[in-house]
Amino acid sequence: MGYEKSIDAFGEAYRVIPGGVDSPVRAFASVGGTPLFIERGEGGYIYDIDGNRYIDYVQSWGPLIFGHCDKDIEAAVIEAAKRGLSFGAPTTLETRLAEEIVSLFDGIDKVRFVSSGTEAVMSALRLARGYTGRDDIIKFTGCYHGHSDSLLVQAGSGAATFGNPSSPGVPADLTKHTLLAQYNNIQSVAKCFEQSVNGVACVIIEPIAGNMGLVPATEEFLTQLRALCDEHGTLLIFDEVMSGFRACLKGAQGITAVKPDMVTFGKVIGGGMPVGAFGAGAKIMAHLSPEGPVYQAGTLSGNPVAMAAGLAAVTKLKHNPSHYVTLGNRAKALMKGFKSAANSVSIALETDVRGSMFGFFFSDTPISNFEEALQNDTETFAKFHRGMLDRGIYLACSAYETGFISTQTTDAMIEETIRAAYIVLQEIAESKQS
C-alpha cells in the first residue's frame, strides 16, 4: 500500500498542530510509521486519503458500535442539526436519553450530561468529594480516566503510594490526594486506605480496563473492593466511558454482580458525537448544582445534536439485544484466530474478550494488571501492527489499547483478518530466525 498523501498530510499538520495530531496516541509513536489520514468511513471500513481501504477495528476508539455512517444515527443527527446546533438551554432529547440510561443501570436515578469522558470523570470525582466531605481518592495504575490534573499520576516504588504528577504542568499539590493501587490486588487497595489521613472519598476503577490493553477486573476483586468501600464509607465509581453499552447493554454491570455508587459514561452514548455523562442515586446527585452546593456546568452539555445521536444509538441497542451475542461471537472468533496463528509459528500470545471488546498481548503469561502489561513484547506488536496495516487491517496503534467489533464487521472480514494474521506472524517468526 502507498501512504504518500498521508505522509505529506502529516508533515503539513506537524507545522500547525503539536506533534501533528490532536490526541497523542494517533501519532503512531509506539508502532512507527506515519499516521493515516482518514477521508471517510463506511460500515466496517475506513478509507484513507491515499485511497486505501481498511477493516476498522478501532471504530473511533469504541463509540461506533453500529459502524460508520449508520443510517439511523445519521438521519437523527441531520434532523437535529437542521433545527439548530446548540441552544444553551434544555431540550426534551436530554430527558429522553437520560431516561433510557436510568432504566438500564441499577442504582442510577439521575444523570448529568457533559461533553467528554474526561469531563464526566472530573465532575464525578468532585461530586464524590463534595458528598463525602473527603479529599483523597484511589485509582489504579493502568486505568485511564481522562487527562484532568488529579488523575495524571504515576505509581511510586510501592504497591500503593501517593501519586506524583506524570506530566509537566500538573502541580504536586493537585495530585497529593490521589493514591495509587494495583489493579486486581485488594491488598494494595487496603494499604491505600491505611495511608489516607482524612479518609477516602471514592475509589474509581475501570471494571473492564481498556487502556492497558483489555484487562478485566476479576469478580472476586470487585466483590472485595465493594466490601472495602462499604467498610470505610467510601463511594465506588465505575468508569464505564469505554465499556458502558459496549461490553453488553448494561456495560460491566451486566457482567458483574457488584454494583457501584456512581458511574461515568461516554463514547457509545454519543453514537459518535462528543458526549459524556455521570450518574448515581438521587441522594448523591442531589448534592449537584443547582439542587446542591457542588458546582458543575457546561455550555455545550446535552447539546441537541449529540443527544439525538446518542438516543438513536442507545435505542437501537435496547431494541436489538441480540446484537451483543453476534458481536461477542465475532470478537471470540477473531481472538481464537489470532491465537491459532501465533501458535502455528510458536509466538506467545494472550487474548481476552468482553462482549464486542477484544485485546491481545504478545506475552506467554496472562495479564492481570498494568505492571504485567508493561512486560509484553511491544516490538513484536509494532511489527504486527505494521504488517496488518499493509494488508488492509486497521488495529489500534498501541499495545495498550482495546479493539472493537461493530455490527458491520462481518464474518468474511473476520476471516480476512485472521488470514492476514497468519501471514504477518509467519513473517515475524522468520525474521526472528534469520
* Same domain assignment for residues 205 and 103: yes
C-alpha span between 374 and 147 (Å, rounded): 20
* Same domain assignment for residues 262 and 350: no
Give the pLDDT score at 164. Answer: 53
Contact 47, 392 (CB under 8 A): no
Q: Could you say which of 267, 324, 383, 394 is catalytic?
A: 267
Give the pLDDT score at 163. Answer: 47
Residue 56's CB is within 10 A of a number of other CB atoms, namely 27
* Same domain assignment for residues 92 and 15: no
Query: Does the annotation count 394 as an active-site position?
Result: no
- The count of domains in the chain is 2
- Secondary-structure percent of the chain, ordered helix, strand, coil, rounded to 5: 45, 20, 40
Beta bridge partners of 56: 394
Alpha helices per DSSP H over 203-280? 219-232
Give the pLDDT score at 158. Answer: 33
Q: What is the CA radius of gyration of the chain?
A: 21
Give the pLDDT score at 166. Answer: 60
DSSP 296-343: ---TTTT-HHHHHHHHHHHHHHHH-TTHHHHHHHHHHHHHHHHHHHHH
Query: Does the annotation count 106 as an active-site position?
Result: no
Q: Give the range of the structural domain holding residue 328, as residue numbers without chain letter.
A: 4-69+322-433
What CATH number is given to the structural domain containing 204? 3.40.640.10
Give the pLDDT score at 220. Answer: 98
Contact 178, 163 (CB under 8 A): yes
Query: Does the annotation count 144 as an active-site position?
Result: yes
* Same domain assignment for residues 160 and 26: no
* Same domain assignment for residues 308 and 415: no
Give the pLDDT score at 156. Answer: 29
What CATH number is given to the structural domain containing 58? 3.90.1150.10
* Same domain assignment for residues 361 and 281: no
Give residue 18's Cα distance to chain centre.
23
Q: Which of 295, 319, 343 finishes a domain? A: 319
C-alpha span between 21 and 271 (Å, rounded): 23
CA-wise closest residue to 204 among 164, 172, 177, 167: 177
Contact 203, 234 (CB under 8 A): yes
Give the pLDDT score at 162. Answer: 44
DSSP 185-212: -HHHHHHHHHH-SS-EEEEEE-SEE-SS
* Same domain assignment for residues 328 and 238: no
* Same domain assignment for residues 115 and 182: yes
Contact 50, 1 (CB under 8 A): yes
* Dihedral sign of CA atoms 286, 291, 296, 300 in order: positive
CA-wise closest residue to 329 among 356, 360, 361: 356
* Same domain assignment for residues 216 and 335: no
Q: Could you say which of 56, 70, 136, 239 is catalytic?
A: 239
Q: Which of 259, 292, 319 finishes a domain? A: 319
Secondary structure of residue 288 in the 3-state scheme:
strand
C-alpha span between 415 and 408 (Å, rounded): 14
Give the pLDDT score at 159. Answer: 32
Q: Could you say which of 3, 54, 131, 144 is catalytic?
A: 144
pTM, full prediction: 0.94
* Same domain assignment for residues 341 and 278: no
Secondary structure of residue 45 in the 3-state scheme:
strand
Q: Which of 319, 337, 353 finishes a domain? A: 319
Pairing of strands 393-394, 53-56: parallel
Give the burial class of 35: count Cβ atoms within 10 A of its Cβ; 0-12 exposed, 13-18 middle, 19 or more buried. Answer: buried
C-alpha span between 161 and 181 (Å, rounded): 7
* Same domain assignment for residues 75 and 64: no
* Same domain assignment for residues 283 and 336: no
The stretches in the chain having pLDDT less than 70 are 152-167
